[in-house]
Amino acid sequence: MSRIRIKFCGITREEDALLAADLGVDALGFVFSRRSGRFIEPEQAALICRRLPPMVSKVALFMDDDPAWIRAVLSAFPPHLLQFHGSENALDCAATGFPYIKAVPMASITDVASYATAYPEAAALLLDAHVVGEPGGQGTRFDWSRRVQVAQALILAGGLDAGNVAEAIRCMRPFAVDVSSGIEASAGVKDPARMRAFVEAVRGVEHER
C-alpha cells in the first residue's frame, strides 16, 4: 500500500505541534472558527508554527466564517492550505487564492460524486461524518463501505483513532487521514500516547500488500 499522509487537526498547544512534527505527521490543522472548542487565535497559531521544522504543512480551518475574518486570519497566519468545513460554495472557497480542502458532510450527502463536481478546484475532499451545519471533531464515523470515486484526492476523517484507522484505510483507500478527537485527552489538548499510537497504526497498515 502506498504511503498515507496524516493530518492532526485542532492543534492549540506548542508541545502537541512539536510532537506531531517529531512523529512525522504531514500536516497540522488550526481551527479559526469561533464556534469550535478547538478555536485558536491566529497570532497564537503563528507563534506555534514558528517553532515547527520545515516540510510540515499548516492548514487553516474555517466554517461559514465572515470573509473579513478570513482575511484577518490569513494576514496573521499564512497557511499552506485552507479547509472549509461549512456550506461555502466554490466561489467562496476560491476567493482567497489559496489551495483548499472542502469537507463533505457524509451524514447529509448521498451523492459524493455530484458534490465533488461543485468544487472542481478543490485540492482534496475531506470525508467527515458530520451533517451540514455541524463542526467536525465529534468523534463519530460514517459507513466506510460507501464507494466514493471522484477526481480529487480523498482525506478520510470522522471518528478515527488508533484502534480503527487501519480498518478505515483498508476500506476507503484514502490519500490521507485526518484525526482530532481520536488523539485527544480533551478538546484541543492532545494525548501523546494516543498521537504515537495513531501514527504507528497508519504506518503499520502501509506495509500491508
Run of H or E residues at 18: helix 14-22
Say whether 9 is catalytic: yes
Say whether 171 is catalytic: no
Residue 101 grid cell: 480542502
The residues, ordered by sequence, that sit 6+ positions from 203 with a Cβ below 8 Å of its Cβ are none
Candidate list 16, 128, 161, 178, residue with the active-site label? 128
| SS3 category, 57 | strand
CA 52 from centroid of its chain's CA atoms: 18
Candidate list 9, 16, 49, 93, residue with the active-site label? 9
Which residue in the block uniquely carries the three cell numbers 492543534?
11
The interaxial angle of helices 42-49 and 14-22, nearest 10 deg, is: 40
The residues, ordered by sequence, that sit 6+ positions from 147 with a Cβ below 8 Å of its Cβ are none
* Catalytic residue IDs: 9, 128
